Structure 1
Amino acid sequence: MTELFAHWLHITQDLNSALIRKDRFDTLLTTIREVLCCDASALLLYENQTFIPLAINGLSHDVLGRRFALAQHPRLEAIARAGDIVRFPANSDLPDPYDGLIPNRDSKLQVHSCIGLPLLVDDQLIGAITIDAFDENQFDGLLNHDLRLISALAAGGLQTALLLEQLETQANVTHEALTERRTFSDKIISRSAAMQTLQQQIDAVANTELSVLITGETGVGKELVANALHQRSARASKPLVYLNCAALPESVAESELFGHIKGAFTGAISDRKGKFEQADNGTLFLDEVGELSLELQAKLLRALQFGDIQRVGDDRHIQVNTRIIAATNRVLYEEVTAGRFRADLYHRLSVFPLHVPPLRERDDDVVLLAGFFAEQMKAKFHLSSIRLSASLLQKLTQYAWPGNVRELEHAIKRASVLAKSRTQSRDLELTLQDFDLFTSDEKAVSATHKQQKKESIEVPTLGLRAETENLQKRMISDALSQNHGNWAATARQLDIDGGNLHRLAKRLSLK
């Protein structure tokens, strides 16, 4: 055991140094793997009847994005309930949560050793470590006494790492703060630098009363950011009320926002609270706020300025304490310049702007998200396992994802349905043939290449970036001319989001 204590002395020093969060968890797991000589291992956080991977070793990278609900994983449930070391026999009939998720191995882990170490602090489960070996006798020499010591040391290490995580985001941390592990609860699946910066900005503004304007392309997850802002604020115990402004018919928009009294208009058979009142002392999330009419913008501005509203048909003023979080995929300052959005409302909403980066700028987050959505489909179809082929994972990271996270989610769901239709097996593998979007993307790239090759006779070679920008300029200019300067019609013709077209045009100096 001397070697064991030497390992943990080293890890204790590392955990109290300036390591970033990811390094703390990886260091914990690396030490476990070195001490126990296992082929695959995972450090899991326990939260809301779910195990969340914090670090993995020897497992497919998409495991980091998966969420293992106890109700769907009996082995993990056994670890959570036992309160002590759990050894699973090689012939256990309980399905292994990592079946098919070990690279370069067969889809099923036929014979192997598996041990679960629950991590307890003051008799409360905060996490677990799972260790697997391909040799069924690999762990025979490990004594339960030693494993309990390792579990206790790992629990202390995990608690230290989580406390350091809290100290980085808030000034005063108590023991109870461990129940508020925000990074994992908010369901923002990410480890990229761009999203970590966004997480820090969310932490900075969440517990203030400032209005927040969330911007970003369609499908990036603006609603998740709004939810994170609410959950990390002092208003978390109060309602978060959602309103999609783009789906509001003009005739009922004012009533939806501010409510109405009985008889205010045909069909108003009783008094009704609007979204502002429903969100009193809580948060109102106005999605696609750029779609509101100018008349309604003026009324919204008054509510923000004075904190009072009037129901439709009522002369009385009602005081509300509602925090506003707004979101849009439009470039609002350009809408202000064009006269379609009030400048005073824009400045009132964007006290603290947050920009959600597109998926193509989030490093390998696409792999984590693919794992997350795949695990959801595994539960939906009651499968034993669902995995992503190595060639597919590579392609996922290369694709541009113009529809962002929403497109990825729909692609995984569609591919799962197609893959399931080809087999009766409860072990599913998603491959390239299940995804038609790559074929379409490659056709578009091929067409662009042919066009560039055709024009290279007349245009000197400027490099790929410059040539691509020249082509984009010509395509946008031609489409804009055909649509008589109408940018919305141009966006539809080019099959591109309007906000993205405005940003691209500005970058290409076309605006």
Structure 2
Amino acid sequence: MTANPLLQTLIPLVADLSRELDDGERYRRLLAALRQLFPCDAVALLKLDGEQLVPLAVEGLSADTLGRRFKVSEHPRLAALIEHRGPTRFAADCGLPDPYDGLVEGLHGHLEVHDCLGCPLYLDDQLWGLLTLDALDPASFGRADLDNLDAFASLAAATVKASERISGLARRVETERQLTELYKQARQQPRELIGQSAALRKLQGEIRLVGDSPLTVLITGETGVGKELVAEAIHGASPRAQRPLVSLNCAALPEALVESELFGHVRGAFSGALSERSGKFELADGGSLFLDEVGELPLAVQAKLLRVLQSGQLQRLGSDREHRVDVRVIAATNRDLAAEVRAGRFRADLY
């Protein structure tokens, strides 16, 4: 008796739902099963993020594909797949441009007449993303494949949901661990400004004055004069004192990592971004964020920092989704920022 090929393909995927697999391996197995059921040259799993589709896993497409973002309005084939609830097969001579032109492995140049099939994935009745299949043979897919892909898409959605739930739990555990460490540090005996000089008494009065306000604060002074101690005192004198004070030394990070550290990133945002990660702003939500050596921030990051200060909204690196945060920023620098503004190295509106 010949086994049903659809059943043979789906059984291992059902077993995978109970296994501890990272996202990359889980999605790799999903696409491998898809190509086993539908022999073709390229398959892809794409997640809808705002108005663009983000490739999470591909087979038969160049590795560069994972770094691309496909704006739905610019790719009519992808838009057509999203608009139709079930599987869609494009005619071999369809005139719509293919989003994978130049990306299919072993094929150089324009994608000629070929067979193309795709299906949207829904999680809890909400559109999540797409599965796409491309075959260079224009007669690869048939009517039965549409029904089989519909069944496969249901299990693919379950696979994605399991993966996202596991990843979400892992992110929550990591965030809770970081917050626990921050609260542990906050419960320790705070460092104090000790002294009786007139200058110190004036400083302590200014700390009490600004501590009780919601205003962003800039602390200036040479390296080693205790700017971080002043920042701790301001936070301790504020209504946010029972929430964490998160610190970031802007001068200690490579330029390529500063944005990710501040605002977080999504999976696939850059090489090595294997999972989503919260940035310092999200960790400091409800509390204060101390940005030491703020004058070292690149201009591009300064623009995003200004937006968060003005609107309380941020976007993780690689995502269009808005996150709202309630954070008081306390910044410090040993630079003359007015001179930096005149030299074009610091934004006047941020200063």
For structure 2, the residue ranges without an aligned partner over 5 or more in a row are: 183-243, 265-278, 298-307, 313-324, 337-351
Counterpart of 2:248 (choices 208, 213, 226) is 213
Counterpart of 1:282 in structure 2 is 327
Q: Shift in Å at residue 15 of structure 1?
A: 3.4
Q: Deviations over 1:219-255 (max 9, x none)?
A: 313023201225744839xx9x9x95258xxxxxxxx
CA contact (8 A) 2:44 2:132 kept: yes
CA contact (8 A) 2:246 2:284 kept: no
* Change beyond 3 A, Cα 1:284–1:90: farther
CA RMSD of aligned residues (A): 3.6
CA contact (8 A) 1:246 1:291 kept: no
Q: Shift in Å at residue 79 of structure 1?
A: 1.2
Q: Is it true that 1:42 corresponds to 2:87 in the alignment?
A: no
Secondary structure in structure 2 of the residue aligned to 1:164: helix
Summarize the alignment of residues 3-402 of structure 1 with structure 2, pairs less than 5 Å apart.
Answer: 3-140=5-142, 142-170=144-172, 204-205=177-178, 209-214=244-249, 216-228=252-264, 229=279, 232-233=282-283, 235=285, 245-246=295-296, 281-284=326-329, 286=331, 289-292=332-335
CA distance in 2, matches of 1:276, 1:49: 25
CA distance in 1, matches of 2:333, 2:151: 57
* Change beyond 3 A, Cα 1:244–1:26: same
CA distance in 2, matches of 1:285, 1:94: 52
Amino acid at match of 1:90: A
Q: Deviations over 1:445-488 (max 9, x none)?
A: xxxxxxxxxxxxxxxxxxxxxxxxxxxxxxxxxxxxxxxxxxxx
CA contact (8 A) 2:62 2:105 kept: yes
Q: Deviations over 1:190-229 (max 9, x none)?
A: xxxxxxxxxx6x7853796241325655431302320122
CA distance in 2, matches of 1:66, 1:140: 30
CA distance in 1, matches of 2:253, 2:60: 35
For structure 1, the residue ranges without an aligned partner over 5 or more in a row are: 172-199, 248-274, 294-511
Secondary structure in structure 2 of the residue aligned to 1:19: coil
CA distance in 2, matches of 1:23, 1:232: 28
* Change beyond 3 A, Cα 1:99–1:221: same
* Change beyond 3 A, Cα 1:84–1:290: same
CA distance in 1, matches of 2:310, 2:165: 37
CA distance in 1, matches of 2:115, 2:36: 16
Q: Shift in Å at residue 64 of structure 1?
A: 0.8
* Change beyond 3 A, Cα 1:48–1:204: farther
What TM-score, normalized by structure 1, do the two folds share?
0.41
* Change beyond 3 A, Cα 1:206–1:50: farther
Secondary structure in structure 2 of the residue aligned to 1:154: helix
* Change beyond 3 A, Cα 1:283–1:128: farther
Secondary structure in structure 2 of the residue aligned to 1:119: strand
Identify, as 1 or 2, the structure richer in helix: 1
CA distance in 1, matches of 2:178, 2:77: 40
* Change beyond 3 A, Cα 1:51–1:285: farther
* Change beyond 3 A, Cα 1:203–1:57: farther
Count of paired positions:
235
What TM-score, normalized by structure 2, do the two folds share?
0.58
Amino acid at match of 2:178: V
Q: Deviations over 1:172-202 (max 9, x none)?
A: xxxxxxxxxxxxxxxxxxxxxxxxxxxx6x7
Secondary structure in structure 1 of the residue aligned to 2:255: coil
Q: Shift in Å at residue 39 of structure 1?
A: 0.7
- The percentage of counterpart residues that share the same residue type is 29
Secondary structure in structure 2 of the residue aligned to 1:43: strand
Secondary structure in structure 1 of the residue aligned to 2:172: coil
Q: Shift in Å at residue 29 of structure 1?
A: 1.1
* Change beyond 3 A, Cα 1:72–1:276: closer
Q: Deviations over 1:318-347 (max 9, x none)?
A: xxxxxxxxxxxxxxxxxxxxxxxxxxxxxx
